[in-house]
Structure 1
Amino acid sequence: MIKEIDDNNIQIIKGCIKEDQRSQKDLYTRYYALALGICLRYSNNKEDAIGILNDGFFKVFTNIKKYDFEKPFSAWMSKIMRNTGIDFYRTKIRLGSVVDISSYEHIIIDDETISQKLNYDDLLMMVHRLPPAYRTAFNLYAIDGYKHDEISEMLGIAVGTSKSNLHKARERLAEMVRSQNSILGKIEEDN
């Protein structure tokens, strides 16, 4: 975990404001894992995530003069990475490379909560397997805490579409959990 207010962090940020390449490298190294984790949530694969990450760091370095030292740097940078991921998603929609989500069959969700069944890594892997529209709505709502009207505005979709995509994401995740539990149950029976 990065200590936000340490003198070293402040010096690195001030160096980045002066466009010092060593400071930029230090900042990139220091926040790489956090930023990549965010970018992976908004991409289909690691290559896309790296592209989002690099675009995001470019925006960080370009706009670092606007950073308010009174606020946590990680929150400021995370917002830039998240917005860069959303921009990536919007571009994919415009280029027509997002899967048509209306063609998927949906299974009704149980009352069981997903969080009771999974650890973080399992959930992240399952979220990553969702279609891009579902994954983006789920990330923004369930993980980043945005409301549907905010998601609607960010993605250029109707509020109802945001709600529908979240509902369908939850259904798909619940099915993945049921499937995983079924497989684990069979493995335990065989042993």
Structure 2
Amino acid sequence: MKLYDLHCDAMFVISCRYFKNKEEAKDMMQEGFLKAFLNLEHYKNGTNFSAWLKKIVINTCIDAIKKRKLDTVSLDDYPLEISNDEDWNFDTRISKSSILEAIAALPQKYQLVIKLYLLEGYDHQEISEILKIPVKTSRTQLRRAKLLLKDNLKTENYGT
């Protein structure tokens, strides 16, 4: 119970990144804890318990989203375009909640990649393993998500 009390708030915040409905986020957080507690024998001493638990909660959320028949399309056949991030000049008054709302408005496949990359700090190799997509697809979806996010924020008159 002490482990739960110590980590539940942080894991709930993580679950809320993937589910708008607070009850659904709470269910996913609790399911993640249940998976962690049932698999404590797989926890390696010396590693950060919070990081291990966070990965389980994130994977639980993603698995639930996938069960909703999230269709990912391999982008191997699409040409890559190099994006210049220098044109990401936004009004510094834009709030964190506005950015998170704009991310939530993205198509689900872009939301997952951008959240895993920008919010959770995973690299493309880790994202490809979590989502079971090629690394190239992860990179392309992130680029497209950033472009769409940028356009959405400019549409909302946040851009300069």
Q: Structure 1 residue aligned with 2:98, among 108, 122, 126?
A: 122
CA displacement at 1:81 relative to structure 2: 0.9
Would the aligned equivalents of 1:114 and 1:173 in 2 still touch at CA under 8 Å?
no
CA displacement at 1:78 relative to structure 2: 0.9
Q: Which string of whole-angstrom CA distances, capped at 9 and with x for unpartnered residues, describes residues 82-101 of structure 1?
A: 121222232222xx6x699x
| Uncovered stretches (5+) of structure 2, i.e. residues with no partner | 74-84
Q: Which string of whole-angstrom CA distances, capped at 9 and with x for unpartnered residues, describes residues 34-74 of structure 1?
A: 10111122235333322211210111211234334433321
1:62 aligns with 2:26: no
Q: Structure 1 residues 110 and 173, CA, compared in 2 at 3 Å: closer, same or farther?
A: farther
1:77 aligns with 2:53: yes
Would the aligned equivalents of 1:44 and 1:132 in 2 still touch at CA under 8 Å?
no
CA displacement at 1:138 relative to structure 2: 0.6
Q: What is the match of residue 14 of structure 2? A: 38
Q: What is the match of residue 158 of structure 1? A: 134
**Equivalents in 2 of 1:131, 1:54: separation in Å?**
26
Q: Structure 1 residues 32 and 118, CA, compared in 2 at 3 Å: closer, same or farther?
A: farther
Q: What is the match of residue 4 of structure 1? A: none
Q: TM-score, normalised by structure 2?
A: 0.73
**Equivalents in 1 of 2:55, 2:96: separation in Å?**
21
Would the aligned equivalents of 1:130 and 1:169 in 2 still touch at CA under 8 Å?
yes
Q: Structure 1 residues 178 and 158, CA, compared in 2 at 3 Å: closer, same or farther?
A: same
RMSD over equivalenced CA pairs, Å: 3.2
CA displacement at 1:119 relative to structure 2: 3.9
Instruction: Count residues in correspondence.
Output: 150
CA displacement at 1:110 relative to structure 2: 7.1
State the AA in 2 paired with 1:140.
L
State the AA in 1 paired with 2:7.
Y
State the AA in 2 paired with 1:130.
L
* Runs of 4+ deviating beyond 4 Å: 113-117
Deviates more, 1:51-60 or 1:63-72: 63-72
Q: TM-score, normalised by structure 1?
A: 0.63
TM alignment of 1:1-191, pairs within 5 A: 24=1, 26-93=2-69, 111-113=87-89, 118-181=94-157
Q: Structure 1 residues 176 and 73, CA, compared in 2 at 3 Å: closer, same or farther?
A: same
Would the aligned equivalents of 2:43 and 2:52 in 1 still touch at CA under 8 Å?
yes
Percent of aligned pairs with the same amino acid: 32
CA displacement at 1:114 relative to structure 2: 6.0
